[in-house]
Amino acid sequence: MKGSEISVYVHIPFCVRKCLYCDFNSAVQPDYIIDSYINALLTELDLKREAFVSRQLVSVYIGGGTPSSIPPSYIRLILERISSYIPINDDTEITIEINPGTTVDHKIGDYVACGINRISIGLQSADDEELKALGRIHDFETFLHTYDVVSNAGIDNINVDIMTSIPHQNKESLVSTLKKVTGLKPQHISAYSLIIEPGTPFYQRGAVNLDLPSEDESLEMDRKTREFLDAAGYKRYEISNYAKKDEKRDFRCLHNLRYWDRGDYLGFGVSAASLYGNRRFTNIADIGPYITSPGRQVSEDLLLSPDDAAAEFMFLGLRKTDGIRLLDFKEEFGTDIKRIYGHIMKKQVEKELAMFSGEGDEERFMLTDRGLEVSNIVMSEFLR
Amino acid sequence: MDISQDHIRNFCIIAHIDHGKSTLADRILEKTGLLTEREMQDQVLDNMDLERERGITIKSQAVRTVYTAKDGEEYIFNLIDTPGHVDFNYEVSRSLAACDGAVLVVDSSQGVEAQTLANVYLAMDHDLDVFPVLNKIDLPSADPERVAEEIEDVIGIEAMDAPRISAKAGIGIEEVLESIVHKIPAPKGEVKSPLKCLIFDSLYDSYKGVIVFIRVFDGCIKSGDRIRFMANGMEEEVVETGYFGAGRFIPCDELTPGMVGYITASIKDVREARVGDTVTSAVSPCIEALPGYKKVNPMVYCGVYPADTRDYPNLRDALEKLQLNDASLTFEPETSLALGFGFRCGFLGLLHLDIITERLEREYDLDLVTTAPGVVYRVYKTDGEMIELTNPSNLPEPSEIDYMEEPVVSAEIMVSTEYLGAIIGLCQERRGVQTGMEYMEETRVLLKYDLPLNEIIYDFFDALKSRSRGYASFDYEMKGYVQSSLVKLDILINKEYVDALSFIVFKDSAYDRGSKMCQKLKNEIPRHLFEIPIQAAVGGKVIARETVKAVRKDVLAKCYGGDITRKKKLLEKQKEGKKRMRQVGSVEVPKEAFLSVLKLDEE
């Protein structure tokens, strides 16, 4: 039952070094801060334990920052505390993000032992020059070693992050990265187009000085990525996400699907966001005040109106290649979706940016490949 | 109180902009006790918010105050404040006609400027006695002796003993007051003659109807009198007579010769009591009206459309309300293929246009799309008919046009010799014909040019200021119409003709204006999913083209749990931008684009 399910996000804001394009809340910190922070995180879990009552835990995602930069004992403490409030079972997807530059040789055993069953590795590129341009701390060789360690430890659900539109990148170097990555046969690949976010060193340097691929080149790279991964057996299920899927197993990321399906989730730690019963709230970003009163201060707290919720339903759902099920809209909002968005949907279909498929209760509305390429334009139509 | 004409002084203050006219007016009111300092709001006579913000007077104002002079006698001062912009030159001339003298304020650091001259000549044309006052003597750069000499040389009025004052600091105000008593003549009306009053302004009041501002020249007027408005022959009965307190109307029994005051007569429309008209008695009318009346016609027209088409009725209501108080605003419904239903509005000039549109947006909370302003062209058709063209879209087919005429102004520009070359260059670019050049002093020149009005309505003043680093001043008046070689420049967006973007242009400038217009629009129109050609055409022939490239990619690569609110805001911003657009065929055009033609000379 969707309504009784819940997911958990845990934010570890520590890094060995900050990447040049990163706009996540993360920083390099001394050890004693890490210890106080984990304690605060545990306190926040205690504080919000009521929220887990009568719920089933679908997924836990430990992200950052670089969660692999801190001792695995902390990760164990966190997962133990979660399981004391809500049962973790075999189906629960538990992901940790790791950076190939942080040695995991001695950590992987602990990860497996405490229940982690999915690992996401931030590779970005198989080209060492491109990695340098991004300010990453690893090279491709180090990544290969990390990948072996993870896969030899028995993890059978591995994601590799790669990036397109990196400074100096071209189609050939992208294809080379794709070849090298798919050769390893991970179960999941996230392929992001680099976004220059305000506040990052990249942003300050300015697009002109970065030697970024042009809009046309960038689009070509996106298309090449799609085509290549499709041929290699990875099915695209969201704008930037690809997974292996067959009768036996579906390797789409359960946790991220929760975000796009608007399932409830609770975020713990600084800047962690939550959606709980149509309330969206986000913890404060400052680590000091967070440690002093964990989970009690928010930077944002919104009760979503039906309008807000419907807009979210559309722009989040349409990120997925299978789009939205019309019946889901009716069940959540009590109105036929076509009564509200019918004319906009029709317009998008006419422009070949979207389409309908299926019939009756299974009728769905989704963006076409072209629609996904310009999805901001399509999605903004569904906002007020 | 019984007032003898000997003890009335009707005067105005004239000055170049920023030379301190309004400040001096305030000081006079303060010193004569009409206002205590505490009651003083800065610049009492500028009533509208807009007037205060812009520091200019838009409507004429009048106020009566009593001054006890050094001779122990009490004098009635009627101070009539005049609008301070060329757009309102006719109003200025009528206000001057209501006075017997004028105080000329000259900034003692800046000296004589173009408007100083224009105003002095205007005052002299109305036989006013003008005496100068040197203001801002407290400024370090003040040089009253030099400026006094300049006034004598350039204008030819006595200035050596002119009061040296600082209106701001309150220095020398007494001296100004005494000069008003001694240098401005008392009115000389005949109480026995038939009634003859000049209307110098009017105001709509929702209780009293139109309040007509008058100066009585001959005869007396009181409530119950039957009066006649000589220009249109309309007759009414006077309901109330009175004079002007500070921001108040004070009723009185009657107005006698030489007095300045107001009448009400259940008039519903300011256009019935036109500025400049003569009011006389319906029973024993005067034979001849006061000279100088003319019906002012709008000089500049533009289309005004509601950004949201549903606001059309609100826009009409708002225009009707503004017109109640502004006889020179005209409007009539028009339809544009691109903009839907709106109005073609006529204004006295660009400032007037600016003020009206700003008031519509501010006071009536309307979001407007305005098209490029244009002047009134005369189109002589081959069949002998002449049409006054206010909307470029209505230009007849070229084959039906015999020839066209455009309005020309005579302009006077005062500039220091340093920038003379730059300003002459500017005037030449704007198709000016030099009609005179006089050296005022060694370093200052008065340039006289005939300039087509359509070359100066947009940005001439700004260009003048920037090319002279602010050291040029400018004044103009309508001269008439001259034949000219004009064409209509059309704009096509995505191959569709956009009526609201057409404008009339001098033939030889068409190519240049057309290419600039295309470049401007290219930057204004956001990229779409398809390529958009933007073309400029004259008579169906494309003369310039630009292309707005298509959007290839517009996507947020990442959107996870922590980003949702932020990503939603980004999408909302994108949507918000679209709301400000007008649909032209399949292209969304931002409302600012319709004013692109105004900005063609910006770099």
Taking phi over 0 as left and psi of -120 to 50 as alpha, with beta for the rest, A185 belongs to left
Mean of the per-residue pLDDT values of chain A: 93
A236-262, pLDDT tens digit by residue?
A: 999 999 999 988 899 999 999 999 999
Tell me whether residues A380 and B572 touch, CB distance under 8 A.
yes
Tell me whether residues A377 and B553 touch, CB distance under 8 A.
no
Q: Which amino acid is at B149?
A: E
B128-149, pLDDT tens digit by residue?
A: 999 999 999 999 999 999 999 9
- Please check whether residue B550 touches A, CB under 8 A: no
Q: Which structure tokens are listed for A34?
A: 């890490």
B423-482, pLDDT tens digit by residue?
A: 999 999 999 999 999 987 778 899 999 999 988 887 788 888 888 887 788 888 889 999
Per-residue H/E/C for B47-84: CCHHHHHHCCCCCCEEEEEEEECCCCCEEEEEEEECCC
Q: In chain A, which residue's Cα lies nearest the Cα of B579? A: A384
Tell me whether residues B555 and A372 touch, CB distance under 8 A.
yes
Return the number of other C-beta atoms located less than 10 Å from residue B590's C-beta.
17
Surface-to-core class of residue B319, CB atoms within 10 Å of its CB (0-12 exposed, 13-18 middle, 19+ buried):
buried
Closest CA to B279 of B325, B317, B225, B318: B225
B91-129, pLDDT tens digit by residue?
A: 888 888 999 999 999 999 988 888 788 788 888 888 899
Tell me whether residues A377 and B568 touch, CB distance under 8 A.
no
Q: In chain B, which residue's Cα lies nearest the Cα of A269? A: B562
What residues of chain A lie within 8 A of the CB of B578, using their CB?
Answer: 380
Asked if pLDDT for residue B34 goes beyond 70, the answer is: no
Asked if pLDDT for residue B38 goes beyond 80, the answer is: no
Cis preceding-peptide flag for A358 (omega within 30 of 0): no
Beta strands in A74-157 (DSSP E): 93-98, 118-124
What residues of chain A lie within 8 A of the CB of B556, using their CB?
Answer: 195, 239, 375-376
Q: pLDDT band at residue B43, thresholds of 50, 70 and 90?
A: very low
Flag whether the pTM goes above 0.80. no
> Rounded distance, CA A104 to CA A110, Å?
10
A302-312, pLDDT tens digit by residue?
A: 999 999 999 99
* DSSP per-residue letters across A189-258: EEEEEP---TTSHHHHH-GGGGTPPPHHHHHHHHHHHHHHHHHTTPEEEETTEEE-B-SS-B-S-HHHHH
B467-488, pLDDT tens digit by residue?
A: 888 778 888 888 999 999 999 9
CA distance B551 to chain A (A): 8
The pLDDT value recorded for residue A202 is 86
Asked if pLDDT for residue A127 goes beyond 90, the answer is: yes
Asked if pLDDT for residue B268 goes beyond 80, the answer is: yes
Q: Are B7 and B186 in contact (CB under 8 A)?
A: yes
What residues of chain B lie within 8 A of the CB of A239, using their CB?
Answer: 555-557, 559
Q: Which amino acid is at B409?
A: V
Tell me whether residues B571 and A383 touch, CB distance under 8 A.
yes
> Rounded distance, CA B434 to CA B428, Å?
9
Q: What is the mean pLDDT of residues B328-353?
A: 90
> Rounded distance, CA B491 to CA B519, Å?
12
> Rounded distance, CA A3 to CA A1, Å?
6
The pLDDT value recorded for residue B51 is 53
Q: In chain B, which residue's Cα lies nearest the Cα of A302? A: B565
- Please check whether residue B562 touches A, CB under 8 A: yes
Q: What is the mean pLDDT of residues A364-370?
A: 97
Q: pLDDT band at residue B42, thresholds of 50, 70 and 90?
A: very low
Q: pLDDT band at residue A352, thresholds of 50, 70 and 90?
A: very high
The pLDDT value recorded for residue B475 is 81
What residues of chain B lie within 8 A of the CB of A240, using their CB?
Answer: 557-558
Of the partner residues B560, B564, B574, the one whose CB lies closest to the CB of residue A312: B564
B177-226, pLDDT tens digit by residue?
A: 999 999 999 999 999 999 999 999 888 888 888 999 999 999 999 999 99
Domains and CATH numbers, chain A: 5-257 (3.20.20.70), 307-384 (1.10.10.10)
